[in-house]
Structure 1
Amino acid sequence: MKTYHYDFVVVGGGMSGVCAAIAAARRGTKTALIHDRPVLGGNASSEIRMHICGADHHMSVPNARETGILEEILLENKRRNPEMVYPIFDSVLWEKVHYQENLTLFLNTHMTEVLCDGDRIEAVCALQMTTEKTFCIFGTLFLDATGDGVLGAKAGAEYRIGRESSSRYGESLAPDMEDSCTMGNSLMFKARDMGHEVPFIKPFWANTYTEEQLRLRDHSDITSGYWWIELGGGERDVISHGEELRDELLKAVFGVWDHIKNGGEHGAERMELEWVGFLPGKRESRRLIGDYVLTERDCLKSPRFDDAVAYGGWPMDIHTVEGFLNESGAPTVWNQVNGIYSIPYRCLYSKNIRNLFLGGRAISCSHVAFSSTRVMGTCAVVGQAAGTAAAMAGKRNLEPRELLDYVGELQQELLKDDCYIPFVVNQDPADYARQAAVTATHHITGWEPEKVINGVARTVEGESNGWRAPIEGGPSLVLTLPERIPIREIRLMLDSNLSREITQSINQDVLSRQKSGPPSELLKEYEVDILLEGKIIEHMAVQSQGQRLQRIFLNGREGNAVRIKAISTYGSREAVIFEVRIY
């Protein structure tokens, strides 16, 4: 058995684990990411192919899309993968992790044992199936991003499975009595138009469905489907009966497709199955318990937490018990939340395992609140918050709970990396731009230049929070500092249209709402000048590479002004910059 030692060990390579591991490694933290599948992304990978949902609820909440590392990944995918081919998305995720300094990736590696010393995790043991190698991976801090809360459960962390009673947290959407019911697993499929009629021969083992049986389950879009092909969470739990549920889901998928092809007028004469998943996507199993449990009230009332580090906004999407087996009930009930709500840091570490962070869908919340926080966009920003916290805690030799004393600094670090936190604004004392006088050659009314230093890097409730000007003629933005300083880095937050979906998907409706390539609103080319008493002392021509967050590294020469000139966009006739930071 080979032994390794890391500062931070992340178990689970879904979107939350990926973002957490990258966030920690970028801060110099020696990080390991252990994942038991051949590809990263979890439910978003080519193995399952679920699109990444989040607080924008399929573009129904303006300017709510998650940013940070998730945005970086999805924008890179838009630039490199305009046809939204899933194996290419797998490669983008792998590249981001594999080539990240300070980050070691263990793919096809299954955690078999957790070694603890009392209420602390010392190491995890794992088997890499492809090489038959065994590892003992020691760490100072750990993150459970397994989805099922496996690391926490093996370590003895407090967790819950099932639905709390309505009286426990005063939740109107909870049942009268607590039970062990969870949401179920789903299996996806993709179909393609062959341009000519294609028959479908139903396998002998596939189920048979009538239009009456499917009357409450929309199957009008026959290009892909269906989240409502869902089983488990009632008599059969989604973990111990996982293999059995997969088999039953295959019977259901092929039975639904037989109904579409051979069971009436569905316009599917030319359609054939292109792909059927063999790895079900999970929704709910264990929920690990932290110092705070997020509840229905928090999703509805949106309280201001002093330790807010992330946000959600997906509806409380509570699926019917037994899923597809319940033909008389709607597959889910959409309970809207109040815009977006904050998620406190206290939900992101274990209540009783002292060095365990929580990520993904296993964070500390009730079953009702979980029905909103479980989606991957929310999981990703939670992961980045946990990974950033782990890096900060490691440098201070602190346990996760002890970092609460530094939560203000954690919030500022997250904002700096383009993670939005409701009601938290840029107060970074190292950002010289906050002291600057800001002017521009042109601007559009309501988008004045000084807004690039107001502390908010996106439009919120109608307030633009950015500078906008016609791109024609190359408009310029100038930040004049009160004194000359060595300038080593400039950060810009551009406009990537946070009201539009950019997620990878197999669903034609989701893809039809998107534009090919990077968002047209993004700056494509711009120039940066460092000025000293009006003279250019350093000049850079920059290509944005289709990214919203821009980091421009400079030589540290002293200047007293920064000028940014917009040259071109990816299609828009207007240039937009939401924030400028100077370090």
Structure 2
Amino acid sequence: MIVCQYDFVVVGGGMSGVCAAIAAARRGVKTALVHNRPVLGGNASSEIRMHICGADHHMSAPNARETGILEEILLENKLRNPEMVYPIFDSVLWEKVHYQKNLTLYLNTHMTEVLCDGDRIEAICALQMTTEKSFCIHGSLFLDATGDGVLGAKAGAEYRIGRESCSQYGESLAPEKEDPYTMGNSLMFKARDMGHEVPFIKPFWANTYTEEQLRLRDHSDITSGYWWIELGGGEHDVISQGEELRDELLKAVFGVWDHIKNGGEHGAEKMELEWVGFLPGKRESRRLMGDYVLTEKDCLESTRFDDAVAYGGWPMDIHTVEGFLNESDVPTVWNQVNGMYSIPYRCLYSRNIRNLFLGGRAISCSHVAFSSTRVMGTCAVVGQAVGTAASMAVTRNLEPGKLLDYVEELQQELLKDDCYIPCVINKDPADYARQAVVTADSHIPGCDPEKVINGVARTVEEETNCWRAPIESRPSILLSLPEKMPIREIRLTLDSNLSKEITPSINQSVLSRQKSGPPQELLKEYEVNILLNGKVVKHMAAQSYGQRLQCLFPGSIDGDAVQINAISTYGSRDATIFEVRIY
């Protein structure tokens, strides 16, 4: 057995685990990411192919898309994978992790055992199926990003499966009595137009469905489908009976396709199945318990938490019990939340296992709140919050719960890395730009230059929070500092249009809402000058390469002003900058 030692061990390579591992490693923490599949991304990988949903709810909530590392990954994919091919997205994720300094990736590596000393995890044992190597991976801190809460369960962490009663947390959307029911698993498919008629021969083992049976389940888009082909969570357990459910889901997928092809007028004569998944996407199983349990009330009332570190906004999307088997009920009810709501840090660590962080869909929340927090965009920003917290905990030699005393610093670090936290603004004392006088040679009304230092790096409701000017005049913005200072880093937050989707998808209606390539609102080329006594002492010509967060490192240059000149965009007539930071 190969024995390894890390500061931070992340188990589970979905979007939450990926963002957590990258965040910690970038801060110098020796990190391991252990994933039992050949590709990263979990439900967003080529094995399952679910689009990454979040607080924007498919563009229905403006300026709500998640940023940070998730935005970085998705923008990289937009640049490199304009046709949104899923196996290429796999490679983008792999590259981000594999080539990240301080991060070791273990693919095809299944955790088999958890070694504990009382209420602390000491190590995990894992088998790498492709190499037949066994590992004993020790760590100071661990993150359960497995989705099913496997690490926590094996370590003895408190967890919950099923629905609480409405009286437990005062939730109107909860059932009268508690029960063990969860949401089920789904299997996806993709179809393509062949340009000529294509027959479909139904396998003998596929189910048969009528239009009457499918009357409550929209199947008008025949290019891909369908999240509502969902089984498990009622009489069948989504974990222990996962293999049986996969088999039944295959019967359902091919049965639905047979109905589309051979069961009426669906316009599918020239369509054929291009891909059918064999790994079901899971929604719900264990929820690990932290020092706080997020509830329906928090989602509806946007509770203000002093320890807020992430946010959600997807509706409380509560699927019908038994899923596809319940033909007499709609597959889900969309219970809208009140805009963005905060997720507190206390939901992101175990209440009884002292060195265990919680991530992904297994964070501490009720079944009703979980129906909103479970989506991958929310899971990703939670992951980045955990990874950043882990780096701070390692530096201070603290357990996760003890980091509450430093939560304001955690919030500021997350904002610096372009994570949004509702009602939290930039107060970083190290940011010279906060002391600057900001002017510009031009601006659009309502988008004044001084807004680049107002502490908020996105549009919120009616407040633009940005400087914007016509690009044709190559506009310039100047930040004049109160005195000469050594400038080592300049950070710009650009406009990547957070009201538009940029997620990979197999669904044609989702893809049709997107434009190929980087968002046109992004600056493409720009210049940064460091000035001293009115003279340029450092000139930097830069390209954004399709990214929203720009970090420039001029060395240590004494200056008393920073000038930014916008040269071109990816198509917009306006140049936009949300934030400028100077360190």
Query: Where on the TM-score scale, by shorter chain, does this alignment land: which range?
Result: over 0.9
Q: CA deviation at 1:473?
A: 2.0
1:88 is matched with 88
2:334 is matched with 334
Aligned partners of 1:514 and 1:540: how far apart in 2? 32
Q: CA deviation at 1:439?
A: 0.3
1:320 is matched with 320
Q: CA deviation at 1:501?
A: 0.2
SS at match of 2:472: coil
The reply to whether residue 49 of structure 1 matches residue 49 of structure 2 is: yes
Aligned partners of 1:461 and 1:221: how far apart in 2? 33
- Residue identity matched to 1:27: R
Aligned partners of 1:183 and 1:409: how far apart in 2? 37
1:363 is matched with 363
Q: CA deviation at 1:431?
A: 0.2
Q: CA deviation at 1:540?
A: 0.6
Aligned partners of 2:73 and 2:179: how far apart in 1? 38
- Residue identity matched to 2:311: Y
Aligned partners of 1:488 and 1:268: how far apart in 2? 59
Aligned partners of 2:482 and 2:339: how far apart in 1? 39
- Residue identity matched to 1:464: T
- Residue identity matched to 1:567: I
2:525 is matched with 525
1:453 is matched with 453
The reply to whether residue 562 of structure 1 matches residue 539 of structure 2 is: no
Q: CA deviation at 1:22?
A: 0.1
Q: CA deviation at 1:193?
A: 0.1
1:67 is matched with 67
SS at match of 1:385: helix
Q: CA deviation at 1:191?
A: 0.1
The reply to whether residue 301 of structure 1 matches residue 301 of structure 2 is: yes
- Residue identity matched to 1:542: A
Aligned pairs for 1:218-367 (under 5 A) are 218-367=218-367
Aligned pairs for 1:400-415 (under 5 A) are 400-415=400-415
Deviations 1:262-283 (A, max 9, x none): 0000000000000000000000
2:26 is matched with 26
SS at match of 1:250: helix
Aligned partners of 1:284 and 1:124: how far apart in 2? 24
Aligned partners of 2:556 and 2:456: how far apart in 1? 26
Q: CA deviation at 1:119?
A: 0.1
Aligned partners of 1:39 and 1:291: how far apart in 2? 33
Q: CA deviation at 1:382?
A: 0.2
Aligned pairs for 1:497-508 (under 5 A) are 497-508=497-508
2:6 is matched with 6
Q: CA deviation at 1:548?
A: 0.2
SS at match of 1:551: strand
1:110 is matched with 110
Q: CA deviation at 1:555?
A: 1.6
Q: CA deviation at 1:126?
A: 0.0
- Residue identity matched to 1:240: S
Write out the 4+ residue segments of structure 1 that deviate beyond 4 Å after TM superposition: none
- Residue identity matched to 1:8: F
Aligned partners of 2:294 and 2:283: how far apart in 1? 17
1:186 is matched with 186
1:213 is matched with 213
SS at match of 1:147: coil
Aligned partners of 2:416 and 2:267: how far apart in 1? 50
SS at match of 1:78: helix
The reply to whether residue 373 of structure 1 matches residue 373 of structure 2 is: yes
Q: CA deviation at 1:557?
A: 1.2
- Residue identity matched to 2:494: L
SS at match of 1:472: helix
- Residue identity matched to 1:237: D
Aligned partners of 2:86 and 2:235: how far apart in 1? 34
The reply to whether residue 464 of structure 1 matches residue 480 of structure 2 is: no
Aligned pairs for 1:162-201 (under 5 A) are 162-201=162-201
SS at match of 1:564: strand
Deviations 1:255-305 (A, max 9, x none): 000000000000000000000000000000000000000000000000110
Aligned partners of 1:191 and 1:312: how far apart in 2? 32
Aligned partners of 1:555 and 1:39: how far apart in 2? 38
The reply to whether residue 385 of structure 1 matches residue 385 of structure 2 is: yes
2:424 is matched with 424
Q: CA deviation at 1:545?
A: 0.5
Aligned partners of 2:40 and 2:352: how far apart in 1? 29
2:580 is matched with 580
Aligned length: 583
Aligned partners of 2:394 and 2:364: how far apart in 1? 22
Q: CA deviation at 1:334?
A: 0.4
Aligned partners of 2:125 and 2:203: how far apart in 1? 41
Deviations 1:409-447 (A, max 9, x none): 000000000000000000000000000000001100000
Aligned partners of 1:515 and 1:476: how far apart in 2? 28
Q: CA deviation at 1:363?
A: 0.1
Aligned partners of 1:495 and 1:471: how far apart in 2? 13
Aligned partners of 1:292 and 1:107: how far apart in 2? 33
Aligned partners of 1:51 and 1:105: how far apart in 2? 24
Q: CA deviation at 1:162?
A: 0.2
Aligned partners of 2:558 and 2:391: how far apart in 1? 31
Deviations 1:457-492 (A, max 9, x none): 000011000000000121001000000011010000
2:443 is matched with 443
Aligned partners of 2:235 and 2:574: how far apart in 1? 57
1:17 is matched with 17
Q: Which runs of 5+ in 2 are unaligned?
A: none
Deviations 1:11-45 (A, max 9, x none): 00000000000000000000000000000000000
Q: What's the Cα RMSD here?
A: 0.3
Aligned partners of 2:89 and 2:462: how far apart in 1? 34
Aligned partners of 1:535 and 1:110: how far apart in 2? 59
2:159 is matched with 159
Deviations 1:493-551 (A, max 9, x none): 00000000000000000000001000000000000000001100000100100000000
2:37 is matched with 37
Aligned partners of 1:297 and 1:555: how far apart in 2? 49
SS at match of 2:364: coil
Aligned partners of 2:554 and 2:543: how far apart in 1? 15
Aligned partners of 2:267 and 2:410: how far apart in 1? 53
Aligned partners of 1:156 and 1:172: how far apart in 2? 31
1:128 is matched with 128
Aligned partners of 1:189 and 1:422: how far apart in 2? 37
Please give the TM-score of this superposition, normalised by the length of structure 1. Answer: 1.00
Aligned partners of 1:323 and 1:245: how far apart in 2? 12
SS at match of 2:473: coil
Deviations 1:46-87 (A, max 9, x none): 000000000000000000000000000000000000000000
Aligned partners of 2:566 and 2:461: how far apart in 1? 26
Q: Which runs of 5+ in 1 are unaligned?
A: none
Aligned partners of 2:535 and 2:340: how far apart in 1? 45
SS at match of 1:206: coil
Aligned partners of 1:500 and 1:206: how far apart in 2? 38
Aligned partners of 1:71 and 1:260: how far apart in 2? 36
Aligned partners of 2:263 and 2:555: how far apart in 1? 68
Q: CA deviation at 1:225?
A: 0.2
